[in-house]
Structures are given as structure tokens and as C-alpha cells.
Amino acid sequence: MKSWLSSLAVVLAVVLAGALLAARGSEGREGKEALLKAEAVFGADAASRGVDGWLDHFAPDAAIFPAGEPVIVGLGKIRDYYTRTGFSPKGLTWKPQEAFLAASGDLGYTFGTWEATGADAEGKPAVHTGKYLTVWRRQPDGAWKVAADIGNADPRKAPAH
């Protein structure tokens, strides 16, 4: 019985050490690459499928921070807001500059710059730019989804005459 307990303890020690090491490992290069890949797929889906492709990458309890509105929390409310405002991510591209993960590999963040092509007040083509910060949470199925996403805009440059 005592020997059985010792064997169990050895197995437990190995399993737990493995779990800890796995958690630490996801902090490293592999985890970062998974996060950056999730962000690239997010961008590709938004470009090809518009708001539905965009929303597929949001966690059920995600938060967005549109100017002039309260924080909007929850996928249903975010969808309602986009419907109400006619938001479309088409013409919006972004480029992550960094990605970081928690040691446990369940939370991470990326930040970088965005660029949107649209029209100015006179209907002429215009490019807007800015920066963003996105917090990602790993879902029970292992997929990375957006938990919080905020951006700000650079001041408009005076158009060239």
C-alpha cells in the first residue's frame, strides 16, 4: 500500500511538473505565434466576410469601446451596436507590433497600428490611421478570441492642395 502511494506520488509529481512547464512554455515563442496567427485570421475573416467574420473572433463576454458610447459588453450587445451604426470592417486593416501572453497561456494581448480607407466629408477617398490594443482570452475549445478591443485615431492631417 505504501509503495502504491509512493508510485502515485511520483506520477503526480511528473504530471504536475509537466503541467507547470507546459504553462510556462506557452508564454514563449510558440504561444506568441499562436496569438499572432489568431490575429491574422481575424483580419482575413473581417476582410472577406465583413461584420460577421469580424464578430466570429469575439469572446461571448467581449468588450468594445466606441467613442461617444458607454463600454459595450457581450457579443449580443456588440452585434446590436454594429447593426445600429452600420459598422463594417471592410477597408480596415491592422498590423500587430507585439504579442504577450500570461504564463498560464489563457490570456494575452497584442497591439499595433490600423489603417482604414474610406471617404472624407466631401466624399473623396481618405485614409484614416490609428493604434489599437486587443486583449485575447483562450476559450474552452483552445481558440483565441478577443476579450477587449480598443483603438484610437490619429488626428486628421490637412489634405495636400
Q: Which of 44, 71, 119, 127 binds a second copy (CB under 8 A)?
A: 71
Quote the Cα angle for 103-106-110, to 5°.
85
Q: Which of 1, 29, 48, 68 binds a second copy (CB under 8 A)?
A: 68
52 burial via Cβ count (<10 Å: 0-12, 13-18, 19+): exposed
135 binds a second copy (CB under 8 A): yes
With contacts defined by CB under 8 A, how many residues of the chain interact with a second copy? 47
Q: Which three cell numbers stand for residue 36?
A: 499572432
The CB density around residue 71, as the number of other CB atoms within 10 Å, is 11
> Which residues touch 105 (CB under 8 Å, ≥6 apart)?
22, 23, 26, 27, 31, 138
Tell me the closest approach of the beta carbon of residue 137 to a second copy, in angstroms. Answer: 8
132 binds a second copy (CB under 8 A): yes
120 binds a second copy (CB under 8 A): no
In this complex, which beta carbon is closest to a second copy, that of residue 80 or of residue 154?
154
Residues lying near a second copy in the complex (CB under 8 A): 3, 5-6, 9-10, 12-13, 16-17, 19-20, 23, 63, 65, 67-68, 70-71, 73, 97-98, 100-104, 106-109, 111-113, 130-133, 135, 137, 147-148, 150-155
